[in-house]
Structure 1
Amino acid sequence: MTREVPLLVELAWRCLECHRYGRCGKCTESGFCPVVEAARTRIRAWRRYRSVFGWRR
């Protein structure tokens, strides 16, 4: 049985990967991007949920 990562978490990881090598239109000159912050927050929340409730079958 494979354990699936939720779609929104997978998209958050892809967002971080894209921002590693480039910028989007919302990135500021200082390097801050609200899209990246939202992606990081989503991943942290998913990890917190997973650590409390564990993997569900």
Structure 2
Amino acid sequence: MCGHRELPYLIASAWRCLDHHRDRRCEKCTATGFCPVVEAARTRIRAWRRYRSVFGRR
């Protein structure tokens, strides 16, 4: 894979969630556009980025 490490499964799943919600809605999306699933995915990605910045790329 070109020397890059693979993403952890939960992070890859979070990115897939964001990609899915870019075009479509799920049953949990509200009329205002808020989705708790998207917020959870964003939170997970932010936490992973913070972890990487503190402990380095693993």
- TM-score band, normalised by the shorter chain? over 0.9
Query: Partner of 1:38 in structure 2?
Result: 40
Q: Which runs of 5+ in 2 are unaligned?
A: none
Q: Deviation digits for residues 1-57 of structure 1, max 9, x if unmatched?
A: 43121000000000000000000000000000000000000000000000010123x
TM-score (normalizing by structure 1): 0.92
CA distance in 2 between counterparts of 1:23 and 1:2 reads 32
CA distance in 2, matches of 1:48, 1:4: 17
- CA distance in structure 2 between the partners assigned to 1:47 and 1:2 by the alignment: 16
* CA-atom RMSD in angstroms: 0.9
Whole-Å separation in 2 of the counterparts to 1:29 and 1:47: 30
Structure 1 moving runs of 4+ over 4 Å = none
Matches within 5 A, 1:41-52: 41-52=43-54
Identity %, equivalent residues = 73
Gaps of 5+ in 1: none
Count of residue pairs brought into register by the alignment: 56
- The corresponding residue for 2:20 is 18
